[in-house]
Amino acid sequence: MLERQGSAVHFHPRLIELCSHYHFQPRPCAPGKGNQKGKVERAIRYVRESFFEGTRLTTLEDLNGRAWAWRDRVAHQRPWPDDAKRTVAEVFDEEKPRLLPLPVNPFVAELVRPVRQIKGIWVPFDLNHYSIPASALGRSLTLVASTTMVRILDGQIEIVSHRRSYDRDQYVDEAGHEEALLEHKRRARGQTPSSRLTAAVPETEAFLRAAFAKGENAGSTTLKLLRLLDDYGAQALRAALREALERDTPRISSVAYLLERRRRAAKTRPPLPVDLSRRPDLADLVVRPHEAETYDELSRTDDDRDS
């Protein structure tokens, strides 16, 4: 109920819809008077102690299957409280012809709420995150959740649906939105496999995927990695990225810390920023390192080769 003034009760509209669908009337109890619904409380206690206690459940389907089996084999076979010679199932079969038939379609009991607090393409719901396409960012979206599915609507149009997770801290992306957005950001900033950053530090690809999965911004992360590459060099950055991935801390702050720790251990001076404002054409220059033997070969004379 939404509010109450004496005996006047303002019920939630969805409850009224449920009552209308199944043809029953809600009867509120007085506040703090649990004894007014003693039969209901005892039924809940029976289900809790007879079915739930000592039962390990893995999925919603597992819960429903066990509940139906428990109802048929245990709950319906217990003695009827008003006549111990008859079972609950026998009395229920006798009562069925007097009951109204259920509607052809069940009541649609879905949770509907506006989408708020989006971080990137991830919509938070019930301790998990569900992906949306990048094209839907900035729109007024609606989340609709059932017991099995989580759907995202743009107005009345469904733009994506995911299987609902009952774990926690899961990033559910069954439609590949994460990879699509990451690829879009790579192309928007020129970060293709042949780009400067990837060519110099191949570990960048794995690091960006892991960082994106943790909710980090791919574009900002790429720019900061490029600055670290200029400041510390490819070899140091590669080692720092590997260590960050091993520690499961794919964040720029972690990489910067690891680089600075290595610099202090080596007792070298802090790197100075390189000013390329007068030569912007050098910003994308790629210098591929070569094996030292290559330079030895260039310095050899003809006499050395003959010998």
Report which DSSP code applies to 148: S
Domain ranges of the chain: 111-175, 178-282
Cα 307 to Cα 305: distance, rounded to the nearest angstrom: 5
Phi, psi of 7 (to 5 degrees): -90, -5
| pLDDT over threshold 90, residue 144 | yes
Percentage of residues in the chain with pLDDT exceeding 90?
Answer: 37
Q: Which residue has the tokens 């009552």?
A: 19
| pLDDT over threshold 80, residue 35 | no
Instruction: Report the amino acid identity of residue 123.
Output: V
Cα 296 to Cα 127: distance, rounded to the nearest angstrom: 60
| Both structure tokens of 88 | 């609950």
How would residue 269 be classed by pLDDT, with cut points 50, 70 and 90?
low
CB burial of residue 143 (10 Å; 0-12, 13-18, 19+) = buried
Q: The whole model's pTM is what?
A: 0.50
Which residues fall within 8 angstroms of residue 153, CB to CB, at 6 or more apart? 141, 142, 143, 144, 159
| pLDDT over threshold 60, residue 253 | yes
